[in-house]
Amino acid sequence: MRWVDEFRDPAAARRLADGIATAMTRPWTVMEICGGQTHTIARYGIEDLLPEGLTLLHGPGCPVCVTPLEIIEAARALALRKGVVVCSFGDMLRVPGARGDLLDARSRGGDVRVVLSPLDAVQLAARDPSQHYVLFGVGFETTAPATAMAAELARRLDLDNFSLLTSHVRVPPAMAQLLSDPEGHIDGFLAAGHVCAVEGLADYPAIAARFGAPIVITGFEPVDILDGLLRCVLQLEAGRHEVENQYARAVRADGNPAARATVDAVFEVVDAPWRGLGVVKEGGLAMRSSWARFDARRRFDLTVAPADEPTTCRSGLVLTGRLLPTQCPEFGRGCDPDRPLGAPMVSTEGACAAYYQFRRSAIEERA
């Protein structure tokens, strides 16, 4: 299949891996920011192809994983209110909050429905005025446009029984925060192609220049990842720190202006909490005051108080690349996809789930 097969070609992957080995004269550490990239790396055994001196760190780019516990608690509290229906993507249902997850809220009588699109939640509300429908909208810049469209549609339909509980986050500020960590040791980044397909490249040159770190935007196939790593290593070896677009088949320099305009109409940039990273300056989006009528936080006067991560789960360390999933004492023991202790084991983009699914040998070695 065109656009897929050539990016999964073993010979091309081998050539790129050889190129990385040839280019390297000293060790380097590169973080891939996105959980989709992490899954490709684990699924295709990319780390096994790389020279020893190239260390990959897995970043926080899993939207479910970085959603703060307190937002999940707020969604649970809403679901348990009489006359309120919480609509969510399916992968959020099993993500633990401070006291349980949305499935648990459902088992206690809460009304939680799975939707495949934010617009489905609007349709549910339009068909059933007897209940209030809350769309639980989380994710990166990639999903924010669809959430914003749901708000716009609800306003156009003049729905009084629809609102949004959102936790959308912005990736470039989180990358800057990771690079500014004095204990961190990231030499370069593979940035997420789908985020850039919406946002474009404008945020990245300043980050690359400020921290002296190359940033290569990649796709999600094995050849994309290896090509991105080769470009990153070549820059590092040459002492360059530029922004390169490896994913030109999907990413334009100016991204998707129409999607950005939709987001800007509904959301404003705010400092925001990320699970694992704490509050990230300008790291999130909040609904503008002009949309208060559709903002569940305002409408239900929700108090979203910070909550602490359970100490058994090291997801904060995993999400910041300071711990590999296999280095967590609970990995494959007290925590697996059937009994997840933390979000990175739940989500299809979580690093712990990726290692559990594709790095079985690591689990067997621990048995």
- The residues of the shown chain that bind ligand SF4, judged by CB under 6 A, are 313-315, 318, 325, 328, 330-331, 335, 340-342, 344-345, 352
Q: Return the closest-CA partner of residue 33 out of 66, 12, 62.
A: 62
191 Cβ contact partners less than 8 Å away, ≥ 6 residues apart: 33, 34, 171, 175, 204, 215, 216, 217, 218
Instruction: Give residue for tokens 């899954």.
Output: 39
Q: How far apart are CB 205 and ligand SF4 at their closest, in Å?
A: 34
Contact 246, 216 (CB under 8 A): yes
How many C-beta atoms lie closer than 10 Å to residue 358's C-beta? Answer: 17
d(CA 352, CA 324): 8
Instruction: Give residue for tokens 């208060």.
Output: 292
Q: Which of 61/173 has CB closer to ligand SF4?
A: 61
Q: How far apart are CB 304 and ligand SF4 at their closest, in Å?
A: 22
Q: Which of 53/316 has CB closer to ligand SF4?
A: 316
Q: Which of 61/193 has CB closer to ligand SF4?
A: 61
Q: How far apart are CB 229 and ligand SF4 at their closest, in Å?
A: 24
Q: Tokens for 229, please give them.
A: 């790593």
Q: How far apart are CB 367 and ligand SF4 at their closest, in Å?
A: 15
182: helix, coil or strand? coil
Q: How far apart are CB 182 and ligand SF4 at their closest, in Å?
A: 23
Q: Which of 273/340 has CB closer to ligand SF4?
A: 340
Q: Which of 77/343 has CB closer to ligand SF4?
A: 343
Instruction: Give residue for tokens 């914003």.
Output: 148
